[in-house]
Structure 1
């Protein structure tokens, strides 16, 4: 999906389009601990007086398709109940449209919802969304648009990872054993064993940089991975992307600096460089990028900050 040439000029407190509220829920998000929450969320949304339609989807691509169909059928708002992966699917449908978007944080990682000001508590977030629906209020927030060399586009809200963490995700997704979090732990150990700085080519608003790095992240928001502030200065309302590059780290140095990512103090390390740009061109061999924790695309990519591309219900 691409950005329309003319985006509707809605004020921050402008009228929400008439129409129903579509809801995309992921019952497996957060390892199922919020499974019983959905009826209460639906009740709060229904209390706004708008029709509420629960979307059906069996997988990620199906979820994105269902969201696009709901928007095409005239939904005034889309609410996701799940984590960053569920948000990611919903964003593909609402980006660049006047449709309101409300993320109810009910996943293992809820970085986009939290970083854009929604309460951590799912029912409290549903209350914020319902209040905005009644008032017809939306607030513009930036998204990042990823474009591949063949012109395919994809959106993300939080962070695109294209370094060690992306390699770990890629390995973990290929593994069939062990199950659960232990698979990710094993993937970390296996990738650590083969850790090496890789050559990356960056063009930041046309300015070229060639670096050897083990961590590369491009953030619209500060956090990924459930609260790891990899791009701590990122602001989803400034029309810019934050790029954080971790250079020639050894295995030991990387493991020492990783805990500091939760507080964002890793950017003070002498091997870490931070940049800010509207457009980021990123390339490297053998890297598949992950956006909002979801498998996105192999490098190279061009990432562009799109101001006000999503209208949040808050």
Structure 2
């Protein structure tokens, strides 16, 4: 197959497998402009990134992620900051980036829109966040970076072998709540230092994470800024009461919650591993920069 093709990264287990039968229809819809469609095969996250990079190097005109935010995160590493178009077909348990940038909820409609955008040569520019760790390793993210309680839950769930499925995450929440304690952080927002103790710390390019939890409800992926949130020590009871309010973004009215906005953010803390788009980034400290218009979104 020659160049000028559409590369498709599909996660067969996205959405707990309920979208598996949609792929032929998605491929057909993407080809509406007459371009060939190439399905990329990968058995791991690292392989997914490698095949996306290879497709871009071989002349893909667009990379399309079929899945949730984790699949989007992997595919973005190959197109962020470049000229290759990017499409999202939302088919995961969490489609927070897709929701934030106006992608249709229906996977077939989303695929048709991508094919039409390629045919009509139109795209929309959106910001991404670029992270750098202490070793100088860089990664992009599109939605939210968690660096507090939710990051600890993710890290614990990833270490657990049982139970399988969502129950493992639920158990990880209970275990982390049992050992909950505020950590000491230093956050630099455009070089202004903020030192505090907190259980919740996050940086958002988009408003929500975890499938619709609006952690930074006013975040806009086209304003050239990152939204930062942290909360003064809450304790188990207050944290448990606050969490349900994340769905509607009303937690930001709590007097213990602080919101900041900045182009560049640095987070420092001991014993915390950062997670972005639900994917493991690595231990803090992390430097995060908003890169305006870093992705050419097709929709």
Q: Same fold (TM over 0.5)?
A: yes
Choose which of 159, 164, 168 in structure 2 pairs with 1:174: 159
State the 1:193 CA deviation: 0.7
In structure 1, the partner of 2:236 is 251
Hey, what's the Cα distance between the residues in 1 that align with 2:103 and 2:247? 19
| 1:110-141 residue CA offsets vs partner (Å, 9 max, x unmatched) | 00111111011111111211111110111110
| 1:32-80 residue CA offsets vs partner (Å, 9 max, x unmatched) | 0000000000001122111111111111000000000101111110111
TM-score, reference length from structure 1 = 0.93
In structure 2, the partner of 1:161 is 146
In structure 2, the partner of 1:235 is 220
What is the DSSP-based 3-state SS (H/G/I as helix, E as strand, rest coil) of the residue aligned with 1:239?
Answer: coil
Q: Does 1:134 pair with 2:134?
A: no
Is the Cα–Cα contact under 8 Å of residues 32 and 116 in structure 2 kept in the other structure? no
In structure 2, the partner of 1:102 is 87
Hey, what's the Cα distance between the residues in 2 that align with 1:173 and 1:279? 29
What is the DSSP-based 3-state SS (H/G/I as helix, E as strand, rest coil) of the residue aligned with 2:223?
Answer: coil
RMSD after superposition: 0.8
- Structure 2, unmatched stretches of 5+, are none
What is the total number of aligned residue pairs between the two structures? 297
Is the Cα–Cα contact under 8 Å of residues 66 and 88 in structure 2 kept in the other structure? yes
Q: Does 1:45 pair with 2:34?
A: no
In structure 2, the partner of 1:14 is none
Is the Cα–Cα contact under 8 Å of residues 145 and 277 in structure 2 kept in the other structure? yes
State the 1:306 CA deviation: 0.2
Q: Does 1:150 pair with 2:150?
A: no
Shift >6 Å, 4+ stretches? none
In structure 1, the partner of 2:297 is 312
TM-score, reference length from structure 2 = 0.98
| 1:137-156 residue CA offsets vs partner (Å, 9 max, x unmatched) | 11110000001122110000
What is the DSSP-based 3-state SS (H/G/I as helix, E as strand, rest coil) of the residue aligned with 1:40?
Answer: helix
Choose which of 56, 61, 85 in structure 2 pairs with 1:76: 61
- Structure 1, unmatched stretches of 5+, are 1-17
In structure 2, the partner of 1:303 is 288
Q: Does 1:90 pair with 2:61?
A: no
In structure 2, the partner of 1:293 is 278
